[in-house]
Chains A and B, each alone.
Chain A
């Protein structure tokens, strides 16, 4: 090997080795980045795709309920109209 720096790296302070061995710690650091760390939203995997949030889920559920109510109302209106027509005929 021509590169003594790689070998010199082996004996770096134990603190750095132990810290970097802890993958949970790494995930925590990278999920709490600040502006000073110099990353932008575009630097993240899935940037722009947007993870589904609780509010997104609630909004979707709300829309589904509205659609269901509309369908029930339409059915009820049709029934009422039918009843009115039959009553008028007889």
Chain B
């Protein structure tokens, strides 16, 4: 039986190692999917998911994340992106390449000294943009660009043809670019 989130948090607060088993049992599959979609490699994925659990162990307490699911998924995604960076530097390709390339249009320079601030600002703009989307467009956007689902995975999930999804998501991406341009963010 899966523990409720507040019980899992209590285990973390009590420094019980059962917290890791509980969070793994409840969200391990989803964490694995998020990391694997980015890395396309079982070994790296396992490592990232374990790093995310360790991240949770090191930050709870003092944090008491609510919702816990989003917190552990964000930790996993961050670790996976860092590993992706490392792999890319080593010239190791993965399935995330296409997803990243699709969003390259609206990049600012990485060397910007105000990068951290800019990232936070961009996150707020992306939130605003997602809020404007219809239910189906919002789900497609988040599944493609947050969960890094492939078009084939999206097609199985939604019942929509791959070709239609590609066009729809390209339009969503263009809309985001226009939105960020309006806000003066996009390059």
Give the interface of A toward B (CB within 8 A). Answer: 1-14, 16-21, 23, 26-27, 29-31, 33, 36-37, 39, 43-47
For B81, the chain A residues whose CB sits under 8 A away are: 1, 6-7, 10
Using A3-B100, A5-B103, A10-B77 as known contacts, say yes or no to A44 and B161 having CB atoms under 8 A apart.
Answer: yes
Q: Indicate whether B11 reaches chain A with its CB closer than 8 angstroms.
A: no
Additional 4 contacts, C-beta under 8 A, given A1-B88, A19-B139: A3-B103, A6-B81, A12-B142, A17-B146
Instruction: Report Cα–Cα, A12/B81, bound state, in Å.
Output: 15
Q: Indicate whether B127 reaches chain A with its CB closer than 8 angstroms.
A: yes
A-B contact pairs, 8 of them (CB 8 A): A1-B84, A11-B119, A17-B142, A20-B138, A20-B142, A29-B139, A30-B139, A45-B161
For B115, the chain A residues whose CB sits under 8 A away are: 4
Contact call A12/B122, Cβ cutoff below 8 A = no
Instruction: Report Cα–Cα, A37/B84, bound state, in Å.
Output: 35
Main secondary structure of the interface of B (DSSP, over half): helix
Instruction: Report Cα–Cα, A67/B157, bound state, in Å.
Output: 41
Q: Indicate whether B12 reaches chain A with its CB closer than 8 angstroms.
A: no
Contact call B108/A20, Cβ cutoff below 8 A = no
Question: Closest residue to A31 on the B side, CB-wise?
Answer: B159
For B104, the chain A residues whose CB sits under 8 A away are: 2-3
Give the shortest distance, in Å, between A6 (CB) and chain B (any CB). 6
Main secondary structure of the interface of A (DSSP, over half): helix
Give the interface of B toward A (CB within 8 A). Answer: 30, 67, 69-70, 73-74, 77-78, 81, 84-85, 88, 99-100, 103-104, 106-108, 110, 115, 118-120, 122-123, 126-127, 130, 134-139, 142-143, 145-147, 155, 157-161, 164
Give the shortest distance, in Å, between A45 (CB) and chain B (any CB). 6
Contact call A4/B108, Cβ cutoff below 8 A = yes
Contact call B138/A16, Cβ cutoff below 8 A = yes
Give the shortest distance, in Å, between B122 (CB) and chain A (any CB). 4
Contact call B70/A18, Cβ cutoff below 8 A = yes
Contact call B122/A17, Cβ cutoff below 8 A = no
Contact call B157/A39, Cβ cutoff below 8 A = no
For B135, the chain A residues whose CB sits under 8 A away are: 29
- Which of A4, A14, A31 meets B67, CB within 8 Å? A14
Instruction: Report Cα–Cα, A51/B127, bound state, in Å.
Output: 38
Instruction: Report Cα–Cα, A46/B54, bound state, in Å.
Output: 44
Contact call B67/A30, Cβ cutoff below 8 A = no
For A37, the chain B residues whose CB sits under 8 A away are: 134, 136-137
Contact call B67/A39, Cβ cutoff below 8 A = no
For B137, the chain A residues whose CB sits under 8 A away are: 37
